Structure 1
Amino acid sequence: MDLAAWDDGLPNTGFEVFHTASALSVLDRHAAGDLLCLGGYRGEQLVGMLPVFVRSMGRGRVISSPPPGMAVPHLGPIVMPTSPKQRKREKVNREFTNGVLDVLGVESSTTLCRFLGHPEYTDPRPYRWADLSVEPSFTYRLQVGDRSPDDILSSFSRSLRREIRSGEDLDVEIETEGLSGGETVFRETQARYAEQDEGFGPSWPYVRDVIADLDERSRVYVARDPDGEYLGGVITLFSNDAAYYWLGGARATHEGVSINSLLHWRIIRDVAEDPPIESVTEYDLVGANTERLCRYKSKFGADLAPSYVIESGGPAMDAAKGAYRLVNQAVDRVGL
């Protein structure tokens, strides 16, 4: 499928922001490997979609969805069954999975395969039946829907409520900014990683293009003091279903109050009252796999949402897993 057909084929809900054609186009320009957009059909009806990046390495190939190092938390397959019956839904999922694996040649010993599925893809069993490894991963998703900000705040932990109320008494302004604000957020995040002697995968040209090309699907939130000095910020992305706390959030406090907590709260209020896409009803805190960070993120009263990591096995894949995981930990770790 080309990107125009891909964009036309996306369902109304149930996909990630990086499944959109504009985001895939940015990834195609900046990530290693070639983008291949696969579509599965029953007759003329599109029932499955999977974007993969194929990279040649020596005598072998690496097939990934998403590509490593691009701070993409989830991608993987989208399946759109044509019937509410479980038996028929499973059949569509199984046939699409088998077709994808056959086209990609995943059974080859020289092919490494890794998909980071999204929370809406709930049945990865056909991959396990095809002898791939399937392991759970987690994120937190806060259900906003039609709830009022006061109702949402009441579901937070007592300490988080106290911190947010203390922040409302401070002279901290949180506003949305454009590319210049996005670059400040990026540079601060990059510096935070350097301080910890850790690598940071995304480049500024890539992040810049994500902000610019996703248009209404991206917002840069920046917190400043009364003198206009930068206190903290985050780049937030939007699918049709959810807002994502994507990049930023280098840890900072102002007069004893966490700037990150104030940024979270501003984004949540915008989802409730002023989302860029009317169908957005959830807030994804992006990542619930690191115990230390979960102690903080769980204070928001969000639901634990599982997804699945699907990968080929063998010694070569075992050697590659460590590097892949390191470059995809950015969004689960920075600043909290």
Structure 2
Amino acid sequence: MALNISLATDNDADQWNTAVESAQHGIIFHTWKWLKIVEKHTGTALYPLMCHKGTTLVAIYPIFVLKKGFATVALSPPSRAYLLYLGPVIVDYDTLKQDKKESVFIAVQEEVDRFLFSELGCNVVRIRSSPRLPDSRPFRWAGYSVEPLYTYRVNLTQGAGHVWEQFDRKLRVDIKKTEREDVVVEEGGLEDLRYMYSSLASRMTEQGLSTTGSMEYLADLYETFHPSNMKIYAAIYQGERVGGMVSLCYKDGMHLWIGVPKSDVKGISPNDLVQWQAISWACDNGFKYYELMDAGDNPRLRTFKSKYNPDLAIWYSAAKYSSYQYKLIAHALKRV
């Protein structure tokens, strides 16, 4: 299958977003405005690749490129942007027959690799594809090393009552106790977002880690996507914030995107109550699933998220290098 690649511009934004809407694995992170905000705040150059067969758009593929030392690195998504996954969107993927799904994906990956390695001279490429794009073989057949990762999704189609009954018994007890202690969950705004960012930054500093992203970045996203696609919840106890979360709403899913570290207040579970309030709202508003976004590689987070009795949803991290030497360097740095 002969494909040609072009770079999207602002004039292509509507067509780009239509492509995102066309497939289940197209997510809010793929939308044009989100990508442009990411570029603005990550010190990367966005290459919004559009793959055509003749005049027909068959895929979009957002790539962020940066220089890291003497290496040119291509990422989808970029690091330190509160993004777990991104990768390609195959147009109308869910309606294609299996042989077409495979042949299109293989051709797209081959052409994108040619562009990245031959035209841009990239040394390291890392792609993290979104859930609902279940096939990792085009990456492996193109020479990528592929790692399966896992996020959690709660099925909401049978209603809030059914979801509640599937929770771990201790979780239900903790939520009811927190309600009895007069913890109140409120929909929040920008100041609540600032509180959550500060709480996360403090916890990461305590753990000797660098802060992810910036408040300016989150504020830009808030101004663009709140309230239609972004909801903020704050747990209030005795007049103080003790928990909260930022969720994203897109298509048929609601996603726990950013959470606040566990409260130091003994005897209450404000973040569990926040989760339940968000899940209840999602059920009432017709969403089909609630995702507790995760990479599945942290056992400590597993114990928090699995008590909601979610289903596992697989996604993939794929990496490829221009030479074995760059692979060794990337592994030594432990981060690309």
Which residue does the alignment assign to 1:334? none
How far is 1:200 from its partner? 1.6
Which residue does the alignment assign to 1:265? 276
- Distance change (3 Å), C-alpha of 1:282 and 1:315: farther
Residues of 2 paired with 1:249 and 1:304: CA distance? 22
Which residue does the alignment assign to 1:330? none
TM-score, normalised relative to structure 1: 0.88
Residues of 1 paired with 2:301 and 2:265: CA distance? 20
Amino acid in the other structure paired with 1:119: P
How far is 1:321 from its partner? 4.8
TM-score, normalised relative to structure 2: 0.88
Which residue does the alignment assign to 1:85? 97
Which residue does the alignment assign to 2:214? 203
SS in 2 for 1:223: strand
Among all aligned residue pairs of Structure 1 and Structure 2, give the percentage whose two residues are the same amino acid.
29
Q: Is the 8 A contact 1:52 1:66 kept in 2?
A: yes
Q: Is the 8 A contact 2:243 2:270 kept in 1?
A: yes
How far is 1:18 from its partner? 0.9
Which residue does the alignment assign to 1:220? 232
Map 1:87-106 to 2 at 5 A. Answer: 87-105=99-117
Q: Is the 8 A contact 1:172 1:223 kept in 2?
A: yes
- Distance change (3 Å), C-alpha of 1:33 and 1:85: same
1:121 matches 2:133: yes
How far is 1:110 from its partner? 5.4
Q: CA RMSD in A?
A: 2.2
Greater mean alpha carbon deviation, residues 130-139 or residues 38-47: 38-47
Unaligned ranges ≥5, structure 1: 328-336
Q: How many residues align?
A: 320
Q: Is the 8 A contact 2:116 2:122 kept in 1?
A: no
Residues of 2 paired with 1:99 and 1:110: CA distance? 14
Residues of 2 paired with 1:169 and 1:110: CA distance? 57
- Distance change (3 Å), C-alpha of 1:106 and 1:75: farther
Amino acid in the other structure paired with 1:149: A
Map 1:297-312 to 2 at 5 A. Answer: 297-312=305-320
Which residue does the alignment assign to 1:282? 289
SS in 1 for 2:84: coil
Residues of 2 paired with 1:198 and 1:59: CA distance? 25
SS in 1 for 2:21: coil
1:246 matches 2:257: yes
Which residue does the alignment assign to 1:8? 18
- Distance change (3 Å), C-alpha of 1:182 and 1:323: farther
Unaligned ranges ≥5, structure 2: 1-7
List per-residue Cα deviations over 1:141-178 (Å, max 9, x = no partner).
11113x22211010111111111122222211111111
How far is 1:220 from its partner? 1.2
